[in-house]
């Protein structure tokens, strides 16, 4: 084990950076407060009952994160930011939809699973414009998931799902040039949850 990865905090920080996550994103995905993640990474906290959630959030074995057991994880596997299992392949029988078709279709009439080609840079560099992704409308979103949304104007977009004010939730882009959306203010409706990305996350 490399010297710089001898502690839980060092391994967690390394894994988080390799997955291109901020402390806030990791905290949300692991259902912790950001200060708790900061304390673990600084070494102020040596043990945590949330170790399994943290390991799942950064997609590493719990034994490696907690005790440094086993080889260092393969960082070329799909990155985090999506709490549900993400595969690199899309089943060929999954129907393909256009953004225009999605905009014109009620949520309940969308296929249970469908794929669409991303047409903007809101989630770049992780999911660049032109990438093919797969959504499932039967999945309930969790903080950190990628979600397909419709706003009050009928526009459709792809964002991260995050907890917001009591009774509300927010939708955030990977690209800072895109402003966060608020479920109440923007009249957001979740159409489906991201379950697969063709190829690898950037």
Q: How many CB atoms lie within 10 A of CB 14?
A: 20
pLDDT number for residue 90: 35
CA atoms of 41 and 94, how far apart (whole Å)? 41
Longest dimension (CA), the chain: 56
pLDDT > 70? residue 2: no
Q: What is the pTM of this model?
A: 0.54
Q: What separation, in Å, do the N-terminal and C-terminal C-alpha atoms of the chain show?
A: 27
> CB under 8 Å to 52, separation ≥6 — which residues?
62
pLDDT digits (tens, 9 = 90+) for 37-70: 999 999 888 888 788 888 888 888 888 888 888 7
* pLDDT 10s digits, 6-15: 899 999 999 9
Per-residue tokens: 174:
């990977």
Residue count (the chain): 202
Between 81 and 153, name the one with better pLDDT.
153
* CB contact at 8 A, 200 and 78: yes
Average pLDDT, the chain: 83
Cβ atoms of residues 23 and 41 within 8 Å? yes
Whole-Å CA distances, 190 to 5, 9, 16, 94: 39, 35, 27, 20
pLDDT digits (tens, 9 = 90+) for 114-149: 999 998 899 988 888 888 888 999 889 988 899 999
């Amino acid at each position: 084990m490399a010297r710089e990865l001898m502690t839980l905090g060092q391994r967690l920080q390394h894994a988080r950076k390799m997955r291109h996550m901020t402390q806030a994103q990791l905290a949300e995905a692991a259902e912790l407060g950001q200060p708790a993640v900061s304390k673990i990474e600084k070494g102020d906290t040596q043990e945590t009952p949330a170790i399994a959630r943290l390991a799942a959030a950064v997609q590493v074995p719990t034994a490696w994160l907690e005790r440094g057991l086993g080889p260092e994880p393969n960082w070329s596997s799909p990155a985090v930011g999506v709490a549900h299992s993400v595969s690199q392949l899309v089943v060929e029988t999954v129907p393909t939809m256009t953004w225009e078709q999605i905009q014109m279709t009620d949520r309940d009439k969308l296929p249970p699973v469908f794929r669409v080609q991303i047409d903007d840079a809101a989630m770049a560099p992780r999911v660049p414009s032109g990438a093919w992704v797969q959504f499932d409308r039967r999945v309930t979103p969790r903080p950190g998931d990628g979600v397909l949304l419709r706003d009050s104007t009928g526009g459709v977009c792809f964002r991260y799902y995050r907890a917001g004010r009591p009774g509300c939730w927010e939708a955030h882009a990977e690209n800072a040039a895109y402003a966060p959306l608020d479920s109440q203010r923007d009249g957001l409706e979740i159409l489906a949850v991201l379950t697969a990305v063709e190829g690898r996350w950037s």
